[in-house]
Amino acid sequence: KAGVTQTPRYLIKTRGQQVTLSCSPISGHRSVSWYQQTPGQGLQFLFEYFSETQRNKGNFPGRFSGRQFSNSRSEMNVSTLELGDSALYLCASSLEGPGNTIYFGEGSWLTVV
């Protein structure tokens, strides 16, 4: 069974640009979450989607947005990039229901210069 797949794995962007990251969840998983990992802040929750609807949102500015498609694939977008947006962006998926494990992808490394 394929795991959570994220693309691209590595990318470099210039301050002020925008970036779109893609995530394909494990087959059958309809909940997709995004997390940001930075050395100083650890792993922080960005947002969660289920059935194409944003169900939960973390404490990030509106420059961070996401969406989910009917096949459960998800994208996140960061506009007007800042140097502080340099981080590992992790996508995770899970089955719906209580006590389900959340599985993570390998992540997308974003460097903003």
Partner 1 sequence: DQQVKQNSPSLSVQEGRISILNCDYTNSMFDYFLWYKKYPAEGPTFLISISSIKDKNEDGRFTVFLNKSAKHLSLHIVPSQPGDSAVYFCAASRYSGNTPLVFGKGTRLSVIA
Pull the structure tokens for residue 108: 């997308």
Applying CB under 8 A, the span of 11-19, 37-45, 67-75, 77-85 interacting with partner 1 comes to: 37-45
Which residues lie closer than 8 Å to 98 by C-beta, 6 or more apart?
none
109 binds partner 1 (CB under 8 A): yes
The residues, any chain, with a CB within 8 Å of residue 66's CB and separated by 6 or more, are 34, 46, 47, 49, 54, 74, 75, 76, 77
* Among 13-21, 67-75, 77-85, 104-112, the segment contacting partner 1 (CB under 8 A): 104-112
* Contacts with partner 1, residue ranges (CB under 8 A): 4, 6, 33, 35, 42-45, 48, 50, 55-56, 58, 88, 90, 92, 94, 96-107, 109
